[in-house]
Structure 1
Amino acid sequence: LLGTMSAIGTALGPSLGGVLIASLGWRAIFLVTAGLGVVAMILARRFLPGDQTATILRSEAQGVGPRFDILGTLLLALTLAAYALAMTAGRGHFGGTNIALLGMAVLGAGLFLYAQRRVASPLVKPALFSDPVLAPSLAMNGLVSTVMMATLVVGPFFLSRALGLDEAQVGAVLSIGPVVSALCGVTAGRFVDRLGASAMVVAGLVLMTIGCLALALLPGLFGVAGYAAAIMLLTPGYQLFQAANNTAVMANVDKNERGVVSGMLSLSRNLGLITGTAVMGAVFAFTVGTGEVGAAAPEAVAGGMAFTFAVAAGLVALAVAIAVVGGLRKRR
């Protein structure tokens, strides 16, 4: 159900964004997003339970119970900020600044892990990083998110430059995937409950691999119809993977650690999205042959689209290998 609601929101984003850009300009998107954020904050304040959080805060204020890991939080925030800047700074050119920021991110990650092993109440328990279920799940989650970001980074350029669609039409086509994902979200959950999370993780990833290969081949042959058909393969696989992966992880987590593990899943997904923006965008731009993709020839954009999703298929195949190896280890 959570996946379905998330997909509904994702479906509305591209279509409404296309209409807003076409009618009011790109600034309208951020104004609307700010308003929606305020509404979400009010709803969260009104409906989400806060008794447990209030109890924890009172205990900390009185010196009772675990203390909040301020050092770990600061190190994690600085590490993530450095990594995000390393992946996005430079407008497509990975230069010395990006390398320095990436080095800072690696150093920050090392310091974070070092600190977590030495504080009384770590932000993340070190044992979680070696968990036989969680560690592969985080890796797969990051790879899958990297691939899914390619549909948002590369897809609009292909639809507008190679197929000649306008902003509203691009938004409508981009909404196909989230709509399909929303429709199959509950069904994916039922498959996971009946057939098991491990098998459905592999099934979802295999379907995603087929979808990526279809995106590499069909749009160039059949245009919008080919793009839509490929997306209709990719997004159900993604929804099935998400439902199965989250179920597999949360089923083996202690009740007191569910919040942290859920946050780690979200973090791996967001890191994948950041990486996908930079890496898949760079692969696309390199194949197109210019950093100014908006001015590239339609044939070059179509070729870049095909190569990028061939690479994406390889990344998902790597995730399949991780899932299979992880399943074999659990059987032993």
Structure 2
Amino acid sequence: MNAAATDGLPVPQRILAFLTVAMAVTMAVLDSAIVNVALPSIATELKASPAEAIWVITGYQLAVTVSLLPLSSLGDIMGYKRVYWAGLAVFTLASFACAQASSLPALALARVVQGLGGAGIMSVNIALVRYIFPKASLGAGVGYTALVVAVSSAAGPSIASAILTVASWQWLFLVNVPIGLIALVIAARALPQTPASGHRFDWISAVLNAFAFGLLIAGLDGLGNTGAVPRALAMIAGAALAFFALVRRSLKQPAPMLPVDLLRLPIFSLSMATSICSFAAQSMAYVALPFYLQRSLGHSEAATGLLMTPWPLMTAVMAPISGRLSDRISPEKLGIAGLCLLAAGLAAVATMGAQASSFGIAWRLALCGFGFGLFQTPNNRIIITSAPRERSGGASGLQSTGRLLGQSMGAALAAVVFGLVAGGQTELLAWIGAGLSLIGAVASGLRKSA
């Protein structure tokens, strides 16, 4: 069915369409997390050093980051269903190739291809949700998507541990194959056909985009290594030059790959800034807390995982609830409330001291997760609905890119703090995260007058 001329899909098809979206997004999100757990085993079996094995993770992340906007642009050109289906097919085939890899270069290359497939999925998933769900329940649809992402992120380490208990690391990738094949069949029948703009793909912008985001992410990662700071700063400077060239080129285009036309809309740009601030705050906390829990409080790795669970768990609980609320209550108000609660939770983390009990840690992280979940879905709804319907792909791609940028910036800032500050790193990062959350809350409030 063509959803372009209707308000969402009828219920049986809507359920199947969202099911295939959920299956593919789950695989893409899981594969960005579960490999971390198996990295030592992979390095040992493939006779690689830890530094070399990191490319199994970095290759995937870089491939996703540099291809999100080009593939979202391709979705506008060809239709979101085609890009999504092709991305899912590439991801499934690359997962099989990862499992068959017998050397680190082969595995790293397969992971890069897998990242390209994952970008095909993540670049247009929210755009598809806009066509799957009717306007009156779009908030619920975005909330369900956020729930899938939150649950997948939270469950990643546990699923990886469960698989590795009974099977080799290759099965971390092989499990994707039957799920991907089933999702492909459902997607072919249930996903809506969306309008295709038919304008030409801008290869020059795609190359500039790859240099801009690739150098930026690599530079941010390098800031945490004191010996590599000059090289990292050179990469960031190169990224700035590539961004400058990309923006100049994009300003002359009616539907640019880098959606400067959307960023001109105050409500859209403020929502993107809010998203980047929140994900940077979350990323800093996720990096810092394990060190605090293990080194300062003496908890084991397993206990650390359990103690950190309240944050993603509460995010998962709140995501669909806040989505439904955003169909009735101003998303701007929900965003302000959520970010203020996130700031309060991070401030509570910063002041919990060295004798914090397990309950004291749990309620603080639950408050963070509650606030993050209350904010995230309404904010994503604003991002996608403030863009014209025919630019849903650009909005979807930029939303995913903003999330990755926020996470990378937060991790880089955490690395810098750990390298420069002798003690109290977790407390300082929690205060910085609280400040970023409040900045995001102010930006969210400014959207009312935008």
Q: Judge same fold: TM > 0.5, yes or no.
A: yes
- One-letter amino acid of the counterpart of residue 311, structure 1: I
Distance in 1, matches of 2:317 and 2:192, equals 35
8 Å contact kept, 1:7–1:181: yes
Distance in 1, matches of 2:211 and 2:180, equals 25
Cα distance change of structure 1 residues 185 and 90 upon mapping to structure 2, 3 Å threshold: closer
Distance in 1, matches of 2:410 and 2:327, equals 30
- One-letter amino acid of the counterpart of residue 223, structure 1: S
The 10-residue stretch of structure 1 (183-192 or 232-241) with the greater mean CA deviation from structure 2: 183-192
What do residues 274-294 of structure 1 show as CA deviations (whole Å, max 9, x unaligned)?
A: 11111123224433x2xxxxx
What do residues 249-305 of structure 1 show as CA deviations (whole Å, max 9, x unaligned)?
A: 222222111121011011011001111111123224433x2xxxxxxxxxx4xx221
- One-letter amino acid of the counterpart of residue 204, structure 2: L
Secondary structure of 1:318 counterpart = helix
**Residue of structure 2 equivalent to 1:66:** 199
Identity score, percent: 23
User: Structure 2 matches for 1:293-308, cutoff 5 A?
Assistant: 300=423, 303-308=424-429
Long gaps (5+) in structure 2 = 1-143
Distance in 1, matches of 2:287 and 2:182, equals 31
Deviation at 1:40, TM superposition (A): 5.9
1:205 aligns with 2:339: yes
**Residue of structure 2 equivalent to 1:326:** 447
1:4 aligns with 2:143: no
1:247 aligns with 2:381: yes
Cα distance change of structure 1 residues 241 and 121 upon mapping to structure 2, 3 Å threshold: closer
- One-letter amino acid of the counterpart of residue 85, structure 1: A
Aligned residues: 304
User: Structure 2 matches for 1:41-52, cutoff 5 A?
Assistant: 41-49=180-188, 52=193
Long gaps (5+) in structure 1 = 60-64, 290-299
C-alpha root-mean-square deviation of aligned residues, in Å? 2.7
The 10-residue stretch of structure 1 (242-251 or 86-95) with the greater mean CA deviation from structure 2: 86-95
Whose RCO is larger (CA < 8 A, sep 6+)? 1
- One-letter amino acid of the counterpart of residue 433, structure 2: A
Counterpart pick for 1:186 among 283, 295, 320: 320
What do residues 208-229 of structure 1 show as CA deviations (whole Å, max 9, x unaligned)?
A: 1101101111253423322211
8 Å contact kept, 2:311–2:366: yes
TM-score by length of 2: 0.62
Distance in 2, matches of 1:92 and 1:223, equals 33
Distance in 1, matches of 2:325 and 2:433, equals 25
- One-letter amino acid of the counterpart of residue 265, structure 1: Q
- One-letter amino acid of the counterpart of residue 258, structure 1: S
Distance in 1, matches of 2:416 and 2:179, equals 34
Cα distance change of structure 1 residues 193 and 123 upon mapping to structure 2, 3 Å threshold: same
Cα distance change of structure 1 residues 193 and 10 upon mapping to structure 2, 3 Å threshold: same
**Residue of structure 2 equivalent to 1:294:** none
Distance in 1, matches of 2:178 and 2:354, equals 41
User: Structure 2 matches for 1:95-110, cutoff 5 A?
Assistant: 95-110=229-244
Deviation at 1:44, TM superposition (A): 4.6
Secondary structure of 1:48 counterpart = helix
TM-score by length of 1: 0.82
1:266 aligns with 2:405: no
User: Structure 2 matches for 1:62-211, cutoff 5 A?
Assistant: 65-89=198-222, 91-93=224-226, 95-119=229-253, 122-211=256-345
Distance in 2, matches of 1:284 and 1:139, equals 25
8 Å contact kept, 2:254–2:261: no
Distance in 1, matches of 2:224 and 2:266, equals 38
Cα distance change of structure 1 residues 37 and 267 upon mapping to structure 2, 3 Å threshold: farther
Distance in 1, matches of 2:193 and 2:343, equals 42
Distance in 2, matches of 1:119 and 1:168, equals 52
8 Å contact kept, 1:146–1:275: yes
8 Å contact kept, 2:297–2:355: no
Deviation at 1:125, TM superposition (A): 4.3
The 10-residue stretch of structure 1 (215-224 or 226-235) with the greater mean CA deviation from structure 2: 215-224
Distance in 1, matches of 2:353 and 2:392, equals 41
8 Å contact kept, 1:19–1:167: no
8 Å contact kept, 2:272–2:402: yes
The 10-residue stretch of structure 1 (36-45 or 238-247) with the greater mean CA deviation from structure 2: 36-45
8 Å contact kept, 1:75–1:112: yes
Deviation at 1:51, TM superposition (A): 7.6
8 Å contact kept, 1:18–1:167: no
1:218 aligns with 2:348: no
What do residues 176-202 of structure 1 show as CA deviations (whole Å, max 9, x unaligned)?
A: 221222222222222222221111111
What do residues 128-173 of structure 1 show as CA deviations (whole Å, max 9, x unaligned)?
A: 1211111011111111110111232111111111121222222222
